[in-house]
A = this chain, B = another copy of it.
Amino acid sequence: MSDAPNPTAALIVIGNEVLSGRTQDANLRYLATRLGEIGMPLREARVIPDVAEVIVATVNELRARFDHVFTTGGIGPTHDDITSECVAAAFGVPWEPHPEAWAKMAASYQPGDFNAARQRMATMPRGASLIETTVTIAPGFSIGNVHVMAGVPRVMQAQFESLAPRLPRGRPIVARAVHAARLPEGRIAEGLTAIQARFPTLDIGSYPYYREGGGGVAIVAKGTDAEVAERAIAEVTALMTALGALPVAGEPPPA
Q: Taking the complex as formed, is A208 at the interface, i.e. its CB lies under 8 A from any CB of chain B? A: yes
Selected contact of A173 from candidates B20, B32, B154, CB within 8 Å = B20
**Pair B76/A210 contact, Cβ less than 8 Å:** no
Of residues 194 to 220 in A, which have CB atoms within 8 Å of B's CB atoms? 196, 203-208, 210, 220
Q: How large is the interface on A (under 10, 10 to 19, 20 to 34, 35 or more residues)?
A: 35 or more
> Nearest Cβ in chain B — how far from A77, in angstroms?
4
Binds B, one of A91-99, A111-119, A159-167: A111-119
Binds B, one of A35-43, A141-149, A227-235, A240-248: A35-43
Q: Taking the complex as formed, is A45 at the interface, i.e. its CB lies under 8 A from any CB of chain B? A: yes
Q: Which residues of B contact A192 (CB under 8 A)?
A: 78-79
Q: Which residues of B contact A52 (CB under 8 A)?
A: none
> Nearest Cβ in chain B — how far from A37, in angstroms?
9
Q: Taking the complex as formed, is A28 at the interface, i.e. its CB lies under 8 A from any CB of chain B? A: yes
**Pair A19/B33 contact, Cβ less than 8 Å:** no
A19-B41, A36-B20, A36-B21 known; A190 and B116 CB under 8 Å?
yes
Q: Taking the complex as formed, is A2 at the interface, i.e. its CB lies under 8 A from any CB of chain B? A: no
Q: Which residues of B contact A76 (CB under 8 A)?
A: 185, 206, 208
Q: Taking the complex as formed, is A152 at the interface, i.e. its CB lies under 8 A from any CB of chain B? A: yes
> Nearest Cβ in chain B — how far from A201, in angstroms?
14
Q: Taking the complex as formed, is A104 at the interface, i.e. its CB lies under 8 A from any CB of chain B? A: no
Top 5 A-B pairs ranked by shortest CB distance? Answer: A117-B189, A21-B33, A21-B32, A78-B206, A45-B47
Residues of A within 8 A of B (CB): 16-25, 28-34, 36, 41-50, 54, 76-80, 113, 115-118, 121, 152, 154, 173, 175, 185-190, 192-193, 196, 203-208, 210, 220, 222
Q: List 7 A-B contacts (CB under 8 A).
A: A19-B45, A20-B175, A28-B47, A44-B48, A76-B206, A115-B186, A115-B190
